[in-house]
Amino acid sequence: MAKLWGGRFSGGPARALEELNASISFDMRLAPYDLAASKAHARVLHRAGLLDETELERMTAALTDLGRRVADGTFEVSLSDEDVHTALERGLVEQLGPLGGKLRAGRSRNDQIATDLRMYCRDHVRGLAADLIDLIDALVSQAAQHVETPVPGMTHLQHAQPVTFAHQLLAHVQAILRDLDRLRDWDARAAVSPLGSGAMAGSSLPLDPTAVAADLGFEAAAANSMDAVADRDFVAELLFVTATIGLHLSRLGEEVVLWSSSEFGWVELDDAYATGSSIMPQKKNPDIAELARGKSGRLVGNLTAMMVTLKALPLTYNKDLQEDKEPVFDSLDTLALLLPAVTGMIATMAVNVSAMAESAPRGFSLATEVADWLVRRGVPFRDAHEITGAVVTHCVSRGIELHEVDDSNLRSISPHLSPEVREVLTVTGALAGRTTPGSAGPKAVTVQLSGIGTQMADWRTWAATSVVPR
Ligand code: ARG
C-alpha cells in the first residue's frame, strides 16, 4: 500500500523495518481525532482558496463516511498502512481519487500526531475525572454515615489518637480532589493546537492556525512551530497526574487490605467485590484493593518511560516520540478499568462500627488528652508530657487502661492529676473536643463534608464538558 513518503525510494521497505516502524497497531484509536482535524484543515484550505466549494463538500462527506467505517469496523487496515494518518489518507484517496491527495497540503504527520494525541488526552481526561468523581461520591456517602464512628487514627501504623472514620475516608477524598485539580490545570496547558506547524517550520501556504485551533476546541494555536511538534510535556505531565492518582489509589487500597483483615475487622467487603481462594474455602480476598496497589507500579512505570524517552532528544520531531502513545493509552485504560472496581468496593463495604469503637481507645490513644487536660490547668506541656508518660508506664506494667488507674496512683504520679482527668478519657469526649477547622471531631467533619459537597457540582460540570468536535 502507498507510503506517504515513497517518492524518493526505489525499493520497498524491509519487513523488519515495517514491523518496527509501524504504529498502526496502537494508533488507530486516534482516528476520530485525526478525522476531526482533517475536516478542520479542509475548511482552512478552502478559505485559503486551495479547495473549491464542491471539493470541500466532497472532502467533508468522505471524511464523515470514513469515520463511520472506522467506527463500525468495515475500514480495514494493515501493517503496510504504517500509521493512522497513512491509513486514513489511503481511505480518502480510495474514495475521492486525486482530490483525496489535496488534504496533505500545509500539513505533516508531525503536527497531525501532536494534535491528535492532545485531543485524545483532553477528551479522555474528562472521562477519568468522571470516574474520580464517582469514587469521591462513594467515599463521601460512606463518610456521611460515619461522622460519629470512632477509629484509632494511626501514625507509624500504631494507634495515635482517635479520629472519626468519616475523617479518615475524607482524607482520601481530599487527595483525589487535588488530582481533579491537577487534571483541570493540565487541561488548560494542553489546550494549545500544534496544527499549522507542518513538519516543524510552519507553512508557506496561507493557512490559519488560530481558526483551526478554535475549530478543534483548543484555546490557542502554538506560538512556535518547532516546539509544537517536539513537545510532549503534555504527555509526561498527564502521566505524572495518572501516576499520582495511582499512588492515591494504592494507599486507599492498602488501607482496605488492612481494614478487611481479621486483625482489624473494620470492614467486610461485599461478595460482589471480593474473591475466594481455590483451596481455602473460608477465604474472602480483597483483590480489588490489592490491584489498586499493584497497578500503581505500571502507572509510575509509564511516567518513567515517557520522561526517559524525552531526555536529551534534539529538536524537533524524532521517531522516538512514537513511544509517547502506548504509555499514555495504557495509563488511561488502566484507570478506566480500576476506578469503577474501587468505587464499587468502597460503596458496598460493610463497616463494623463496634469493632472500630472498641479499638479506638486501645494503645493509650487518649494519652494526648491527659496531657492537654494538664496544659489547660497551667502545667507546661513539657511536664504534662512527662507526667502522662509516667501514667502510661504505670498502665503498661499493670496491664490496665488509662481510665483504670485509681485515684491514689494518679495522685502519686503527680499532684496535678485529680480524678476529674477521667472526664477526658473517653473517645467521644476526645472527639467532641476536636472542633477546630480540619480536625477529626464530628463537628469539624460535618463542615468538611459540606465543603466537599459544594465543590462537586462544579467538578461534574467540568467533567461533562466536551472539548472535541465529533
Ligand atoms: N506514527 C508517528 C508517531 O506516532 C507519526 C508521526 C510520523 N512522523 C514522521 N516524521 N515519521 O510519532
- Ligand 1 midpoint to CA 39 (Å): 20
**What DSSP designation does 22 have?**
-
Instruction: Give CA torsion, residues 289, 290, 291, 292, to 10 deg.
Output: 50
Instruction: Give CA torsion, residues 72, 75, 80, 83, to 10 deg.
Output: -60
In 3D space, the residue among 198, 145, 187 whose CA is nearest the CA of residue 346 turns out to be 145
**Annotation says 193 is catalytic:** no
In 3D space, the residue among 328, 159, 333, 338 whose CA is nearest the CA of residue 247 turns out to be 338
Residue 208: how many CA atoms within 13 Å on its side-chain side? 15
Ligand 1 site-directed mutation target among 200, 226, 229, 319, most atoms within 8 Å of CB = 319
**pTM (2 decimals)?**
0.94
- Rounded distance, CA 158 to CA 141, Å? 27
**Quick one: cell of 75?**
475500514
**Quick one: cell of 239?**
502521566
- Rounded distance, CA 40 to CA 111, Å? 14
**Annotation says 277 is catalytic:** yes
Q: Grid coordinates 490513644 are at which residue?
A: 365
Average pLDDT of span 316-344: 98
Q: Are 176 and 248 in contact (CB under 8 A)?
A: yes
- Ligand 1 midpoint to CA 197 (Å): 14
Give the torsion sign (CA, 218, 221, 225, 226).
negative
CA-23 nearest atom, ligand 1: 1
Q: Report which protein residue has its CA nearest ligand 1's atom 10.
A: 110
Of the pLDDT bands very low, low, confident and very high (cuts 50, 70, 90), residue 209 is very high
Pocket of ligand 1 (CB under 6 A): 23, 27, 83, 109-110, 113, 317, 321-322
- Ligand 1 midpoint to CA 189 (Å): 23
Is residue 5 over pLDDT 90? no
Predicted pLDDT of residue 1: 53
Amino acid identity of 197?
S
Which whole-number Å values give the CA distances from 336 to 47, 137, 141, 167, in the listed order?
40, 16, 21, 27
Of the pLDDT bands very low, low, confident and very high (cuts 50, 70, 90), residue 470 is low
Q: At 220, phi and psi to the nearest 5?
A: -160, 165
Looking at 25, 261, 277, 466, which residue is catalytic?
277
Average pLDDT of span 258-265: 96
Q: What percent of the chain has pLDDT over 70?
A: 99
What are the E-state strand segments in 218-349? Answer: 220-221, 267-268
Of the pLDDT bands very low, low, confident and very high (cuts 50, 70, 90), residue 2 is low
Looking at 10, 156, 262, 397, which residue is catalytic?
156
Average pLDDT of the chain, as a whole number = 95
∠ CA 6-9-11, rounded to 5°: 105
Average pLDDT of span 58-68: 97
